[in-house]
Amino acid sequence: MRHPVARKLTVLAVSAAVVSVGAAAPPTGQHSGAEPVKTPVATGYGGAVASVDADATAVGIEVLRKGGNAVDAAVATAAALGVTEPYSAGVGGGGYFVYYDAKSRTVRTIDGRETAPLTADAGLFTEDGAAIPFADAVSSGLAVGTPGTPATWQTALDKWGSRSLGTVLAPAERLAQHGFTVDETFRSQTAANETRFRYFPDTAELFLPGGELPAVGATFKNPDLARTYRELARKGVGAIYHGDLGEDILATVNKPPVDPDSGWHARPGDLTKRDLAAYRAKLQPPTKTSYRGLDVYSIAPSSSGGTTVGEALNILERTDLSKASKAEYLHRFIEASRIAFADRGRWVGDPAVEDVPTKELLSQRYADSRECLISDDAVLTSPLAPGDPRDPAACATGGTAAPTTYEGENTTHLTTADKWGNVVAYTLTIEQTGGSGITVPGRGFLLNNELTDFSFTAADPAVPDPNLPGPGKRPRSSIAPTIVLDRHDRPVVAVGSPGGATIITTVLQTLTGFLDRDLPLVDAIAAPRASQRNAAQTELEPGLYDSALRAELEGLGHSFKVNAEIGAATGVQRLPDGRWLAAAEKERRGGGAAMVVRPTG
């Protein structure tokens, strides 16, 4: 089997300057009145940042230019995304942080997932023995978990950063104070949430200024969030877990401030000071799997991202995807995703509560026992039953399928690298677009609805569900920030994406496009996507749905439905000559923003 990675890296080292040049970062904290220019790919020296937003990427570059490292830049960029992407991320949410340390050539991770109240039980989302409607749960205090993002920032800086929290929050604080230019994505996301935003007066006042949708080209300011960042800079994240900010969060969760004329019943939550004080961002080992002679590291449970991407890669290991036709490649990719999702639903939950067989799920022996289910001329039927990684049986098909829970398709991902060779892949979220829809009064940020990632009820009492709610439990996630190292433990590429459960298939498709299909990183990110999550139909973006490939795959038995947009990835790549290549979306979410400290052209 040929290995295309080494040849690809050599080719890209020569061609990257031809296909792109990196934009210099504009000064932050000053508003020009014009929408920032987004460049989806940049190459150069001194470090790199890629995110969905030009202002946020520029903040990260500013930190690198002033001598900060990749961790400092990641936290600064994340804080800026809390300003410009407030419906996807912020102080009120959580996430997963994957870090490559160049000095030790090791990968470390932080689980910053939100947690359920210590009073929660398996009936958290039931009333009278039945699950409450999903829409009712989303916009409620009941859906809000203890935020993990502030603890993640502080933990990352304490362990691996070189700057204080106050220093890295300063650019985002200025951005919130002076404002950013509203683009079409921000306006359309606001419009999609307008009805429920109006349920909550503080949310409506902030995001519907003057009672209207923000206009494209207008300047959007958030002085309340600027004050929140200043308070965190002065007092540290203890202001949330032990102080006044936390008390404001608790008051909002436990008695959501609803417009009485809206008629909306926002169920109260039950977060307490004990929940905030008990919260910890967890330092834990990454998942690791070998693929094409490379080591692929990601986040371990409570996220299912690392295990599911890793299992799918192991299933694909025995197929030379570089020589497969486009239809053969997509067929194998879809089937590997289907199998990995079948196992995810049965086995992955919060390992602090559930017995999660992480090592076994990532074993090549188990993947081989599942890979033999795939046929070149037929399609597996979903829902597919899980296997048993603790006792692999070749081509086993018996048993009952595990349910696939719904996950909101928003979130945001950023990737950073620095001149010393350190790399960060960080995905953060408040769950679906707009989170719970509830803004903490006077604080300028939305609260998450992350607890809706739990299964509301057990779908089948005969099938164990590791993702039911429980006291202090972390709901299962699909977040999959991933860093790939070569045989000398040096970075090859780092990627990640938002998109709920489609994160897993987005990361998997981006990795195989880059590592197997010879696509430059920016093109692997831009390629039209498919997403199979152990469902009867595979989702296709229009670029595939409207192509001849669809009919070819349908001839094998595949069934499809269209999804207008799947994921919004970013990544960085280390080139052989020591330069960094940063890449982001060309079109999804209005395109992403890639920058480097010293561009080459």
Question: How confident is the model over 49-83, as pLDDT tens digits?
Answer: 999 999 999 999 999 999 999 999 999 999 999 99
Interval 121-146: pLDDT, tens: 999 999 998 999 999 999 999 999 99
pLDDT tops 80 at residue 30 = no
Interval 75-115: pLDDT, tens: 999 999 999 999 999 999 999 999 999 999 999 999 999 99
Q: List CB contacts of 461: < 8 A, sequence separation 6 or more.
A: none
Structural domain contains residue 562: yes
pLDDT tops 70 at residue 464 = yes
pLDDT tops 70 at residue 22 = no
3-state DSSP assignment of residue 52: coil
Q: What is the pLDDT of residue 527?
A: 98
Distance between CA atoms of residues 306 and 318, nearest Å: 20
| Structural domain harbouring 482 | 5-33+47-284+406-459+468-599
Q: What is the pLDDT of residue 24?
A: 36
Other beta carbons within 10 Å of 433? 19
- For 186-200, 247-261, 456-470, which range has the lowest pLDDT when averaged over its residues? 456-470
Q: How far is CA 123 from the centre of its chain?
A: 27
DSSP assignment letter at 489: S
Is 109 considered catalytic here?
A: no
Residues 426 and 481 sit within 8 Å (Cβ to Cβ): yes
- What confidence tier does 33 reach under pLDDT thresholds 50, 70, 90? very low
pLDDT tops 70 at residue 231 = yes
- For 11-25, 248-262, 365-379, which range has the lowest pLDDT when averaged over its residues? 11-25
User: Per the structure, how many domains does the chain have?
Assistant: 1
Q: What is the pLDDT of residue 31?
A: 45
Residues 498 and 89 sit within 8 Å (Cβ to Cβ): no
Interval 366-404: pLDDT, tens: 999 999 999 999 999 999 999 999 999 888 776 777 766
Helices 70-84 and 149-160: crossing angle, nearest 10°?
160
More confident residue, 324 or 13: 324
Structural domain contains residue 455: yes
H-run or E-run covering 540: strand 538-540
Q: What's the mean pLDDT in 441-446? A: 98
Structural domain contains residue 437: yes
Distance between CA atoms of residues 205 and 588, nearest Å: 29
pTM for the structure as a whole = 0.94
- For 98-102, 189-193, 213-217, 407-411, which range has the lowest pLDDT when averaged over its residues? 407-411
Q: What is the CATH number of the domain that holds 78?
A: 3.60.20.40
Distance between CA atoms of residues 238 and 508, nearest Å: 37
Phi/psi class of residue 203: alpha, beta or left (left: φ > 0; alpha: ψ in -120 to 50)? alpha
Tell me what percent of the residues of the chain surpass a pLDDT of 90: 89
Interval 149-178: pLDDT, tens: 999 999 999 999 999 999 999 999 999 999
Q: What is the pLDDT of residue 526?
A: 98
Structural domain contains residue 389: no
- For 4-18, 286-300, 560-574, which range has the lowest pLDDT when averaged over its residues? 4-18
pLDDT tops 50 at residue 25 = no
DSSP assignment string, 417-481: EETTS-EEEEEEE-SSTTTTSPBPTTT--BPP-GGGGS-SS-S-TTS--TTS--TTPPPPB----
Structural domain contains residue 335: no
Q: What is the pLDDT of residue 408?
A: 58
Residue given tokens 């070749």 in the structure block? 394
Q: What is the pLDDT of residue 458?
A: 85
Task: Find the catalytic residue in 411, 412, 429, 452.
Answer: 411
Q: Are strands 482-485 and 491-496 parallel, antiparallel or unpaired?
A: antiparallel
Q: For 86-241, where are the alpha helices, taking DSSP H only?
A: 134-138, 149-160, 165-178, 184-197, 201-207, 223-235, 238-241
Residues 516 and 508 sit within 8 Å (Cβ to Cβ): no
Average pLDDT over the chain, rounded to an integer: 92
Whole-number CA gyration radius for the chain: 22
- What confidence tier does 21 reach under pLDDT thresholds 50, 70, 90? very low
pLDDT tops 70 at residue 439 = yes
Q: What is the pLDDT of residue 407?
A: 61
Q: What is the pLDDT of residue 405?
A: 64
